[in-house]
């Protein structure tokens, strides 16, 4: 039985991970520590309100003494670290929050883990600090380049990816210098339920429903490797339970799409949903699909993102060979599950889109 501290567990991937973990390991104890920034949403975890061995703590990973107290008092032996500022566009507009959350925040957690598990000897052997990172630390690929492997040199290009790269190095250093039991996973783009609607896939789904333009940065030919979020949780599970201490593992979907192709696919799927469901036409009267028009008519090419990485792709051969990892959800299944989730959970996305986020989106998605 493990006793986990999950940082950022109210965010997109963190909350999916917590649901995955408690379903698979119902006797484990899970404490979520989350500052509930604009991207965190406590309602992602309300289904666990009555679960005895689950606790939500509203707090900041930079509060080192609070983290120490949680590790000590709740006898936690595993940290799964998701908490971060995660949106590249925001990192371009304002990098400071990324330095504070991603670099200083990770260091605060490492210090707390070292203090309680090693210096105080609370859990000297059987502890684990698992750090959740991104493929964006490797920089950008050209067409035809092999995917990022664990040996690819770091070359981060955005303030977001630079802050994540920096946190990866701190995690590595705490293993080599102090003997902290760490693992790191670098994953490709995730999609699925609870994805904050500033990221491409949920933004496009919701904008179609509202009849708003679908902003495509640059020429739409940039490529991402998409993975269903539950498969990321599965990969982290394998790394925590069977991965080698001190090792890093790349996790990916082997599922590369240009942005324009993925937006066109979502438009087509949405048009099919509306064509077979009159209730959707009543619920979303301003969507072009309600008038029998193509959702793709909303596509609008806008100014490119500064320093926009062209292509990400993961070489998954190491995690496949070492841990037997294979994604379980195909893209065809995952994208339909995700679309259905957004159609069934309008209350969730309407609520998260209230407030200052909306003002930010209006000023940042200007047509080219
Ligand atoms: P998210 O933005 O949806 O959630 C981040 C969560 O962290 C939020 O709940 C937020 O409230 C919390 N948080 C932020 N700063 C905090 C702080 N100082 N203290 C406590 N909590 C804080 O992010 P996500 O998309 O779920 O990403 C989770 C992790 O996975 C990140 O570390 C990200 O770099 C990594 N990752 C994301 C992707 C992706 O496609 N989204 C892919 C690979 C890796
Ligand atoms: P995003 O979901 O922000 O993830 P990341 O930048 O971490 O890969 O963006 C995915 C891709 O979609 C990226 O190439 C930028 C592009 N994009 C758009 O073209 N329009 C948008 O409105 C957004 C949010 C992203």
Reduced 3-state DSSP string for 275-327: HCCHHHHHHCCCCHHHHCCCHHHHEEEECCCCCCCCECCECCHHHHHHHCCCC
Question: Tokens 């599922």 — which residue?
Answer: 255
Low-confidence ranges of the chain (pLDDT < 70): 355-368
State yes or no: is 77 an active-site residue. no
Is residue 174 a part of any domain in this protein?
A: yes
Pocket test for ligand 2, best of 164, 217, 227, 313 (most atoms within 8 A of CB): 217
Q: What pLDDT, on a 0 to 100 scale, did the predictor assign at position 367?
A: 41
Closest atom of ligand 2 to CA, residue 89: 3
Asked if residue 47 belongs to a domain, the reply is yes
Residue partners of 46: CB distance under 8 A and separation at least 6:
none
The distance from CA 11 to its chain's CA centroid, rounded to whole angstroms, is: 8
What is the DSSP-derived secondary structure letter of residue 367? B
How many Cβ atoms are within 10 Å of 283's Cβ, its own excluded? 14
- Domain encompassing residue 43: 3-196+226-254+308-329
Pocket of ligand 1 (CB under 6 A): 7-8, 10-14, 33-37, 39-40, 60-62, 82-86, 101, 105, 132, 134, 164, 187, 189-190, 196
Quote the CA–CA distance of 345 and 77 in Å, as a whole number: 35
Q: Is the CB of 190 under 6 A from ligand 2?
A: no
Annotated active-site residue 136? The verdict is: yes
The H or E element spanning position 63 is none
Instruction: Identify the burial level of 253 via C-beta atoms within 10 angstroms of its C-beta, where 0-12 means exposed, 13-18 middle and 19 or more buried.
Output: buried
CATH number of the domain encompassing residue 126: 3.40.50.720
Which pLDDT does position 353 carry in this prediction? 82
Q: CA angle, 133 as apex, 330 and 233 as ends, to 5°?
A: 40
CA of 259, closest atom in ligand 2: 12
Per residue in 311-339, pLDDT (tens digit) is: 999 999 999 999 999 999 999 999 999 99
Domain count, the chain: 1
**pLDDT for position 124:** 87
Does a structural domain hold residue 358? no
Q: Is residue 342 part of a domain?
A: no
**Residues 6 or more apart from 338 whose CB is under 8 A from it?**
191, 192, 193, 195, 201, 202, 205, 228
């Amino acid at each position: 039985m493990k006793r986990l501290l999950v940082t950022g567990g109210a965010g997109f991937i963190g909350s999916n991970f917590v649901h995955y973990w408690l379903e698979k390991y119902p006797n484990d104890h899970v404490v979520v520590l989350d500052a509930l920034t604009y991207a965190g949403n406590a309602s992602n975890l309300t289904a666990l309100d009555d679960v005895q061995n689950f606790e939500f703590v509203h707090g900041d990973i930079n509060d080192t003494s609070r983290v120490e107290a949680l590790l000590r008092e709740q006898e936690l032996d595993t940290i799964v670290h998701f908490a971060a500022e995660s949106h590249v566009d925001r990192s371009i507009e304002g990098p400071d929050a990324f330095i504070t959350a991603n670099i200083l925040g990770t260091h605060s957690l490492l210090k707390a883990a070292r203090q309680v598990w090693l210096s105080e000897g609370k859990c000297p052997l059987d502890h684990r600090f698992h750090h959740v990172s991104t493929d964006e630390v490797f920089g950008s690929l050209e067409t035809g380049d092999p995917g990022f492997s664990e040996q690819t040199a770091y070359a981060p290009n955005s303030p977001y990816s630079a802050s994540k790269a920096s946190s990866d190095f701190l995690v590595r250093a705490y293993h080599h210098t102090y003997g902290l039991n760490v693992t790191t996973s670098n994953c490709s783009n995730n999609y699925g339920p609870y994805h904050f609607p500033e990221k491409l896939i949920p933004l496009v789904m919701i904008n179609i429903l509202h009849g708003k333009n679908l902003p495509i940065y640059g020429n739409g030919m940039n490529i991402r490797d998409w993975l269903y979020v539950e498969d990321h949780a599965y990969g982290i599970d394998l790394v925590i339970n069977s991965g080698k201490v001190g090792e890093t593992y790349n996790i990916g979907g082997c599922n590369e799409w240009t942005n324009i192709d993925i937006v066109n696919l979502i438009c087509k799927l949405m048009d099919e949903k509306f064509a077979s469901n009159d209730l959707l036409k009543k619920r979303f009267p301003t969507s072009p699909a309600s008038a029998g028009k193509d959702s793709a008519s909303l596509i609008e090419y806008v100014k490119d993102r500064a320093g926009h990485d062209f292509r990400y792709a993961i070489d998954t051969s190491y995690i496949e060979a070492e841990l037997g990892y294979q994604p379980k959800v195909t893209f065809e299944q995952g994208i339909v599950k995700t679309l259905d989730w957004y159609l069934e959970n309008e209350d969730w996305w309407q609520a998260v889109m209230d407030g200052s986020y909306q003002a930010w989106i209006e000023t940042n998605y200007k047509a080219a």
